[in-house]
Amino acid sequence: MQTEFDVAIIGAGPVGGALACALARQERRVLLVDQAALPPMAHPDFDGRGYAIAAGSRSLLVEAGLWDALPYPPCPILKIDVTDGEPGRPASPLRLHFSSQAVDAQAFGWIIEARALRIALNAQIHGAPGITLRAPAQARLTRTEDGARVEIGDEVFTAALVVAADGRNSRTRAQAGIPVTNIKYRQSAVVCALAHEEPHQGVALEHFLPGGPFAQLPMSGTAEHPNLSAIVFTDRTEVVDRLAALEDARFLPEVKKRLGPHLGAVALAGRRWTYPLSAMFAARYFDTRLALVGDAAHGVHPIAGQGLNLGLRDAQALLSLLAGAPDCGDAALLAAYQAARRPANMAMLLATDALDRLFSTSNPVLRLARDLGLAAVERMPGLKRRFMLTAMGE
């Protein structure tokens, strides 16, 4: 027996999962497949990872019913300080301050715990009436002009559209023969959460250092750690490998050296994670009855915390195009999706790449030029406002 669906989504990560929930609310019949087991109500321990969700991409999480279901409160980012410096030395006095009040916004964005989004997603994808979940499972796909066939074990499903949301190494994308271009950074990122003595006041810090940017992002406190921040810092891979091998007591001074003294005494909360960094883009975002979303379509340097935001905006664009569409896999609709998202995502990839190259250097001429650039932008309210709106995804 065959079961018919409007959309089959391969990958129930934050992008595929949120898209499934939002589509189900539009009364679409959705098949959602993930290779990992997704237990419904697990409350994993605090693991120190967070996502910066820009104001413009929050709307999909709201529309999907996930925002209000987050079990731990999002922390608003009220101000952003951009500074330039060297580890262990005071930041350059030429700096940029952004305040959400200057653009009449409640917040630039929010830091949400990665586990909070996972808990909300898992609860919803198991409970939503429009979603049929298969996990852990692997799907075999056949796509023709007339529709797609999805085989999982002995089960056979059909769908008008397949959405590849299976992450950077997307098998669905590879099977469709869509080429990708990879950019290696020779940098890695360390991600961890920091408990600190002084409150962060909703201020995020982006401190540019020669090895790569160091970000401190305000998180909502817990009963155990009332003052918490997420730390994402990049450095050359050999430096990060060396830091990863250090025990916590020797690792912490390295964080402090990059962070500076403004938060008082600090301690690690949760474990540390390291990721090698690369960027990637797919040559096309669609094929016969197939659309790519999220990391399956693109990957950017985390310098501006935009990776998931771009994916959520892909999902938002697809959702808008699908609203009321008689055929979800229509070729013109898929071409319109690519036109709506690929140029914007490529622009972000190029911007984050350029930002990383400009700031991750100790060349004194470049450092002087960018410090003067920071100071100049600080004195141009119109340009500053434009930067702020772009960061918010407006």
**If binding is defined by CB under 6 A, does position 167 make contact with ligand FAD?**
yes
**Segment interacting with ligand FAD, rule: CB under 6 A, options 12-20, 153-161, 331-339, 371-379:** 12-20
Using CB under 6 A, which of 147, 305, 329, 393 touches ligand FAD?
305
Q: Decide: is 363 part of the binding site for ligand FAD (CB under 6 A).
A: no
From 7, 8, 9, 12, residue interacting with ligand FAD (rule: CB under 6 A) = 12
| Residue 16 vs 329, nearer CB to ligand FAD | 16
- Minimum distance from CB of 277 to ligand FAD (Å)? 7
Is 14 near ligand FAD (CB under 6 A)? yes
Q: Does the protein bind ligand FAD through residue 212 (CB under 6 A)? A: no
**Minimum CB separation from ligand FAD for residue 140, in Å?**
11
Nearer of residues 221 and 307 to ligand FAD, judged by Cβ? 307
Q: Give the gyration radius of the chain's Cα atoms.
A: 22
18/3 Cα distance (integer angstroms)? 22
Residue range at the interface with ligand FAD (CB under 6 A); choices 34-42, 153-161, 200-208, 380-388? 34-42
Binding to ligand FAD in span 187-206, by CB under 6 A: 189, 191
Let me know: does 54 contact 306? Beta carbons within 8 Å. Answer: yes
Decide if residue 295 touches ligand FAD (CB under 6 A): yes
**Residue 33 vs 269, nearer CB to ligand FAD:** 33
Query: Closest CB to ligand FAD among 34 and 287?
Result: 34
Number of residues that bind ligand FAD (CB under 6 A): 31
Q: In 114-153, which positions are buried (b, 16+ CB within 10 angstroms) versus exposed (e)?
A: bbbbbbbbbbbbeebebbbbbbebebebebeeebbbbeee
Instruction: Classify residue 81 as exposed, middle or buried by CB count within 10 Å of its CB (0-12, 13-18, 19+).
Output: middle
Quick check: 311 binds ligand FAD (CB under 6 A)?
yes
Residue 237 in contact with ligand FAD, rule: CB under 6 A: no
Closer to ligand FAD by Cβ: residue 189 or 290: 189
Of residues 35 through 54, those in contact with ligand FAD by CB under 6 A are 35-36, 51-52
The one among 141, 180, 209, 308 contacting ligand FAD by CB under 6 A: 308
Q: In the complex with ligand FAD, which residue's Cβ is closer, 327 or 338?
A: 338
**Binding pattern for the stretch 214-233 against ligand FAD, x by CB under 6 A and - elsewhere:** ------------------x-
Which one, 92 or 187, has the nearer CB to ligand FAD? 187
- Rounded to the nearest whole angstrom, what is the least distance from the CB of residue 167 to ligand FAD in the complex? 3
Q: Which is nearer to ligand FAD, 130 or 311 (CB)?
A: 311
Choose one: 20-28, 302-310, 341-349, 384-392; the region binding ligand FAD (CB under 6 A).
302-310
Partners of 110 in the beta sheet?
53, 76
Interface contacts to ligand FAD, rule CB under 6 A: 10-16, 33-36, 51-52, 138, 165-167, 171, 189, 191, 232, 275, 294-295, 302, 305-309, 311
